Amino acid sequence: MMSQFDLSGRVALVTGANTGIGQGIACALAEAGANIAAVGRSEASRTIEIVQALGRRCVSFNADLSSTAPVQSLVDHIIATFGRIDILVNNAGIIRRADALTFSEEDWDAVLDTNLKTVFFLCQAVAKHMVGWSNQYGPRGKIINIASMLTFQGGIRVPSYTASKSGIGGLTKLMANEWAEKGINVNAIAPGYIATSNTAALREDATRNRQILDRIPERRWGLPTDIGGAAVFLASPAADYVQGHILAVDGGWLAR
């Protein structure tokens, strides 16, 4: 059974892999055997150190995913470097906070462009490559999008982020519907409250931190490593019959 989770020889493209959830996913995939193309705005030096210590190959690719401009050249560069892409993890994203009554068009466009538009066209570019070698009975291409609790809930003061993550949920299902028969699995992970730099302000606010912990049955913030296990599962042959699913890794938040 453990061989069903073996990713030896696979190549995983992970966006936002230089820190936080992206780094946790990249390192977990590497521990399962995958080589890593780490994409981000800055050099993923620490991720490279960890992955190489696991005996895997890791190459950092700098790209600004706030627009679709670098998508095709990025995919071409990674394929030229590694020979193929077996796994795509769309983790990179941004958030802007303001009341819906005053939310700016600039902040709306910035979040939707990064979190939804670029994600779709990166999926498209990688899927076009995957259908060239993947088939129903052989190794399948794996696309994993990072959704959110706000894929299911509305939240407050994050209208563009909520819209983008709701869109990720819908696109994940649509792409699974279209690409399953082409040998590609498309699923998503919805992290709960994870301790990263993006949530530092929430954790430092004693009142808000207590409100969050009181809602989570686990009574703790999640860690990037908690997301890594889910990513390994969805990237592995063990999940070959899982399609269009949004896997919540939230300590029980949604169960409340």
Give me the active site residues, please: 161
Question: What sections of 180-199 are H helices per DSSP?
Answer: none
**DSSP assignment letter at 10:** -
Question: What sections of the chain are H helices per DSSP?
Answer: 20-31, 45-53, 71-82, 105-112, 118-130, 159-179, 200-204, 206-215, 224-235
How many C-beta atoms lie closer than 10 Å to residue 179's C-beta? 22
28, 228 in Cβ contact below 8 A? yes
How many C-beta atoms lie closer than 10 Å to residue 114's C-beta? 21
How many CA atoms within 13 Å lie on the side-chain side of 231?
A: 32
How many C-beta atoms lie closer than 10 Å to residue 92's C-beta? 25
